Structure 1
Amino acid sequence: MEHVQRHLRMALDAARMTIWDSELHDGRVVDSTVKWFGAGATLLGLPSGDLKQPFSVFLQHVCQEDRDQLLDTMQTAVDNRAGYEVEYRVIWPDKSRHWLAAKAHVFCNGDDRAQPLGTLGVVWDITERKNSEQTTARQRELAAVTLRSIGEGVITTNAHGETDYLNYIAEQLTGWTHDEARGLHIASTLKLVDDAGEAIPEHVALQCLRLRQAIGMSSQNQLVTRDGRHVAVEESAAPIWSDGGELLGAVVVFRDVSHERKLTKQLSWNASHDTLTGLINRREFEVQIAAALHSAKEDGHVHALLYMDLDQFKIVNDTCGHSAGDLLLQLLSKMLQTQMRDSDILARLGGDELGVLLPHCPPDQALLIADVLRQSVKNFRFVWDDHTFELGVSIGLVEVNHHSKSMTELLMAADQACYLAKERGRNRVHLYQESDQRLARRQGEMQWVSRLNEAFEHQYFRLYAQPIVRLGQQDEEEHDEVLIRIQPAKGDLILPGAFIPAAERYDMMTAIDRWVIRAVCRHVQSLGAQPDANGRLPAQYSVNLSGTSLGDEGLHDYIVQQFAEHGISPAQICFEITETAVIANLVKAQDFMAGLKALGCRFSLDDFGSGLSSFAYLRALPVDFLKIDGVFIRGIATNAINRALVKAINEVGHVMGLSTVAEYVEDEPTLAVVRELGLDYAQGYAVGTLRPLSASAGA
C-alpha cells in the first residue's frame, strides 16, 4: 500500500498536482475542514508540509470575488452527491494572485444516499495558462478594436476566397454585415468593376491567393455595393500565413476614394480647359494644332486656324467691371459654338482672344466659316444693367498644310493676320500671306516703340490706385495697389494689357518700372509721413515689378536713391512680383528681395498658384503677402475646386506667417466666400474701385 501511495505522489508531483481533500460536517462545505498534503500548501503561498485548516480559513486565501462561486459549486456537488470542476484565484501572503483548478468527487459513508463525509480530488496551479489566455484575449480584442476603428474597410477570407470577417467600415461601404457575409465568396461581398463598369479580369483577393503574394494598390476600380451603388475605391490584398507557412487566406484593405477621384478628374479637366467659358485652353489648343499639323504633313490633309480678337471688349470691362466681361465671354462662347461644325474646335487663348481649328477645311471654305463667325459676333448684343454693347471681332486665318513649319509658327502667323485685320479697320477677316510676317513685325515694332516713347516724352502715363482692403477688422493703414495706364492726347485710356506685352518684348519694361517707382515716391512725399487728423497711418503702396526689372543690376540702387531723394520710409512701399517672374529669375529675385527687405520694404507674391511648384520655393523668398491668382477667385462662390484650392493656399500661407490677398473680388457672393475662408485682404470692384493717383503726371 505504501508503494502505491509513493507512486501516486510521484505521478501527482510530475503533473504539478496535489490531493484536494476535505472533511464535511453535517453536509455543509462552509463548516468543513480542508487538508493539504506535502507540497499542496505551497499552492496557497504557504510553506510546504501537511496542513489542516477550517474551510473558512482557507476561504480567506481565495479572492473575494471568487469565494461565492467556489462555495456554491462545491455545495451543489455535495448536495447532489456528484463531482465538480472549478477554477478560482487565491492571494498569497505576498499579495500576488494565482489561479488554481480543482477537480473532486464527493464520497459518502455507504451508498450514495448516505450523509456525505467529504470531498476528494486534485488541485493544481493554472496561473501560466490563464495568463497566456488573457494575453491572447487582449491581443484579439486589441486587433478587433483596431480593425473596427481604422478608417479603411478590411475583409479577410479563407484559402478558398470565402469571406471570414468584415470590419465596421467594410460593412458600411459594402452594405453587408459580418454575419450575412460570412462564408460568401469575396467576389460577392466585395464586388469590383472597372471605371467603365465592366467586370475586372481577376479579383484582387483571388490574385493574391493564386500568386501567394501581396497585391499593390489599385485605384481604377469601383465597388458595387449590395444595393447596387457604385463607389470609387482603392484596394490591395496580402496573404495570411500560419506559423508553419500554410496559406490560410487573404486580407483585403480598401477605401472610398470617390472625392479624390472626382477631384483628380476635375483638376485634369482644369488643366486642359478654361474654367470661365468651359472651352479648351491655350495649352490643349496647341496640342490639337500639333495633331492637325502632323496629319497635314503625314497624310496631306488641309486644315485652317483662326485667331480671333474681340473688338470693344475692354469697353465692357472698364464700364461694367470684370463680372460683366466674364458673362460676355461665356455668352459669346456658347453662341459661337452654335455657328460651327461638330468637328470644329473652339478655344480661349487669352483674355479676349479665341482660337478656332477647322479640321479638313480648305482656305476658301475657312473664309466662309470665319465670316459667318464674324457676322454672328457683329449681330450679337450684350446688355448689362442699362447699357447695351455692340461688339466686333478681328479674325486672322492661316492655312495648315504640308508646307507649314511648326505649331508655334502657325500660331504666330494667325496672331499676325489678326493684328493686320485690326490695323485695316477691325471687324474683318484677314488670310495670312507669307509677306504678312515681315510687314506685321515692322508695323508692330514701329507702332509700339513710337507710342511708348511718346508716352515718356509727353507724360501720357497715368497712375491709378485700387484699394487692398483688410477683412475682419478695421485697418489703421490704407493699402493701395498702383496700376499704370496711358492717356494719349487724343483717344481712349490704354490699359496695360495692350502695351505691357509690347514693352516686355522690346525691353522697355525696366524704364516703365523706374518711372512708376519715381512717380509713387513723389506722391508719397507730397502727402507727408505723419498720421492724418483721424489718426490713420500713412498709406502703403504696392508697386508692380516686371521679371525684366528683377534682372536689372542697377534697380536696387535706383530704388534706394529714390527713397533718399524723396524722404520715403521703405516700410510704405510693397513690391509686387508675379510668381512666374520669380520662377524665371529665382536667384536674382532672392538677392534683390533680401536687400530691399533689410531696408524695411515689403513684398507681395502676385498671381500665386499659377506656377507649377508654388509651395516648393515659397520658403526661400522673404515674402509678406500672397496674392492668390484671380483665376481661382473668380467663380469661387460656385466652384468647389477653386474654393478648395484657395482654402489650401490660405492655410499654408497663414502657417508660414504670411498675409493672404484675394484679387478680382468682383461681387458680394465672392466677397462672402473670401471672408468665410479667412483670407486677410480683398481687392476688386466689390471692395473698392480705381481712382487716379494725383502724382501720376509730371513724374
Structure 2
Amino acid sequence: MKEFLIKRVRTEPSSNPRASTGSLQVDEEGIIRAADDTAEALFGYGILQMQGLPMVDLVASREDNPLAPPLNDRLETGESALITALHATGYFFTINIRRSLTETDTATSQTAQIRPRQGTPLDTRILRLAEDSAGLGIWEMDPDSNRIYWSEGVFHLLDLPPGNQLDPEHVLFYFQEHQARVRRAFLSCLRRGEAFSMEVPVLTARQNQRWLRLTGHSLNDGQRSRVICGTAVDITARRADAHSAQTWKYRTQSVLAASDDLIVIMNPELEIVAVNRAYSDAFEAVFGITPNVGDQLQDLLEDHPDERRLYNRLWERAMGQEGFCVEMPLIQSDEKLPVYEIQFNRIFSPDGELLGAAHVGRSKSAPHSEAQEHVHYLNSHDPLTGLLNRRELLQRLSRALNVVRESGTPHSLAYMDLDGFSTLNARFGSGGCDRYLRALSSMLINRLRQRDTIARVASDQFVIILDNCGTDEATKVCHSLRDAVAEFEFDWRGATVQTTISGGLLPLHLEQDASPEHCLSLAADLCETAKTTGPASLSLYRPRAGIDDETATREELAQLMHAITTDAIELHFQALRPIASATWGDHVEVLSRLHREPRDDGGSYSELWRPAAFMPLAERYDLGYALDRRVIARAIEWLEANPLMQPRLKMISFNLSASSMLDEGFAREIASQIQSSSFDASSYCFEIREAHACDYPEAAKHCCNVLREIGCRIALDGAGVRGQSHRLIGELGASIVKIDETLMQGLASNPLQVVMVEALHRMATLSDAVTVAPFIEDEATLKKVRELGLHFGQGYRLTQPELLNELAPPEKTATGRTGVAGR
C-alpha cells in the first residue's frame, strides 16, 4: 500500500500558501483504498466516493500518473513533483505530490473493542457520511458574534454549494410564507431559551419542493444563552408516504361509500380496518350495535355467542386460504332476514405480508320496487325544477372533494343567484316565476355537460359542480352561463320575464381539505359579494389576495367601483432606459393611480391608491378587465391628443390582469381600438405575467395571438418566477422579457440570482427578444445589470414615475419658439 501526500498549487498572489495537505492510499493495482476529507474536497468527490477509483482517473495524462515511470521513480527517492490533476467536475488543476515516509503496507492486528466516544473529536468524514445517509444537517448560532454556522448537510438540503455566503434574511426566503413562523421560533430560542421543533416546507435554490423538520435548543451556562444549535432533517419522503397513505384512505372511503354492498375489511387480529355505511346499517339492524373502525369482532358479538363462533371460523378461513363465497343471512336465527352472497378475499402487501381480508356481501333479495325508487327521487330532487336539492348536492360535493384530494383532478363550485328576482316575483306572481324557473333550469341543463352537477338550493339560487374543470375553464363556463341567462327570455301572458345572474366561483383544489358545507358557504359569500358590485357580476376566490377583514373588503370594493365608474383614474408613466447601448426614442410603461372617495368624516386620503393595494381586490372580484379597459382607452385618447409623440414614441406598454386574459372579448376589443389609432400597432406592448400564463395557458395564448396578429408586441413580465420562461417566450411570441422583482432585489450580492438573470438574458437573446431589468433602486444593482449586458433598465435609480402629461412634447408657438401647451 502506497500513501501519497497531495496539496493544491495556486498561482494567484492572494492564494493561501498554507493550503491543507490531503492523503491518498493506493494499492499495488493502482486502486484508491482510502482518502481523507481534504483529498475528497480537493478532487470534488463526496464521502467515500473515491474508494475503488483507479488512480489514473484522477490525472490528466499518463505522464502525470504517480504510479508510472519515470514519475514513480522520482517519488520513490523522496522527491516531490508537480502534476496536472482532473477534478470531478471536469476541469484541470495543478497539485504537488510526494510519497509518505510512513509505511502503510502492514497493519497491526488488534482486538476490536467498543468504547463510548465521549470527548474524542469526531472525524468530519463520519459527520458528512451521517448527514448524507440520514438526510440531515446541523446548524449552530453564536449570539455574541451573531454568526450562524452550517454543516455541509444544511447546504445540501437547500441545494446550495457548500460554503456559499448567505445572510439570514436570504435563508428565510427559502421558507416562503412560513418565514415569520421560523423567525419567531429562532428569536424565542435565542431570548428565552425555548426549544422548538417544527415541520415546514421549503423551496430550494433549484426550485425543488422539500419538507424539513427544524429543531433548535439553547445550550446555556445558567445565566445567559451561550449558543443555540439544532438540526434540519429532510422528511420529504416521510411526508410523501403519509400523503400516499392518506390518498389511499380517501380512495378506499370513496369506493366504500359508492357501493350498496356490505363491505368490511379486517386485519389478522380481527379488528375492523374499514367499513362502509351499508354494512354498518345492516349490522346495527341485526345486532343492535354499530361497528366502527378499530372495533374487535369478538367485542361486537359478545352477546351473540353462536354468531361469534361462526364469524370467527369464517374469518380464520378467510385469512388462511384463497377467496371463497358463502350464502347466508347476517344472523342464522332469523329466517326472515335477507340472504347475502358473501365473498371473502385475502389482502397482501407488495412484499407478500398478510394484511387482512375483505368481506363483500351482496343481497340476493329482489331489487327495490318502483315506489322505493320514487321515494329516493323525491328525497334527492327539487320538486319545482327537477334539479338536485341541497342534501343530494352536499353528498356529491363530498365525493368531488375526495376526488380532488386523491387524484388532484380540478373541480370547481359555482354559486349563482338571480338578480332582482323579488321584483320579478312581485310583478309576475309565483305562477309566472315558477314557470320561468323551470324553463331557465332546462336551459342551464342543456348548456352543461352530462357529468356536471346542478342543484337548486333556494328559490332563486343555483349551485353547479363543474367536473374536471380548472379555474381557467370554469371562469369561461360561468361567463357563458351569465351571458345565456341575460339573453334568456320567457313569455308570460304577453309579457317578457327576463333578468341577469351573478355568481361566486370556488376552485375546489384551493379548499380541498374543507368540508362540503364550508365550501358551499364560502361560494355563497363570494356570490353575495359579487352582487354588491352590480348585476351580472362574478367573484372568483383568490386565497392569496391578502384580504381577511370582510368589512374592510367591502369598503375597499366600494372605493374601487367608484373609481372605475367615475373614471377617477390618474395615468402616470415610468421610462425604460437603455443599458447596453444608446437607443433613440421613448420607451415607457403606463401606470395607474386611483382617486378615492372622501372619508365619512369629510377628510380625504393623502396619497393616491397604488396598484399594489387595489389590484388584488380587482382580481378577486373580476374587475381587472374593467380597469384595464379604462386605462388603455384613456392612454390611446391621450396619444391621439398628442400627435407629435409619433416620431419619438417607440413603445408604450400596459400590464394586463388575469381577468383581462380570461375575458374572451377583451383582446378583440383592444385590437379594434389600436387599429383605429393613428399610432403604429408596433408601438403598443402588452405585458403578460409569467405566473398568469402558467395558471391560464390557453387564455394567455389566445390573448397574445389576437394582439400579435395586428402587430402589437408582447412582453413576458415576472420572468423566472415559475421557471417556465424558456417555454413561454416561444408560446406567447414574446419580444420583450422582463425579469421578476424577486430576482432583481439584492442582485448585486447574490451569485445565484446573477446566474438566473444571466440565463434568462441568454434565452431571450437566442429568441431575438430584448431584456428589461426592473426595480433598479441602487448603484450596485445598476452596475451588475450593465455587467450582465441586459438591454433596458427601469427603477427609481434611473427614472421616477411621472404624470403622463409630462411626457407630452413641447409645441411650437406662433413665434417659432417652443413651449408646452397650457403652461
TM-score, scaled relative to structure 2? 0.37
> Which has the greater radius of gyration?
1
Q: Which has the higher contact order (CA 8 A, sep 6+)?
A: 1
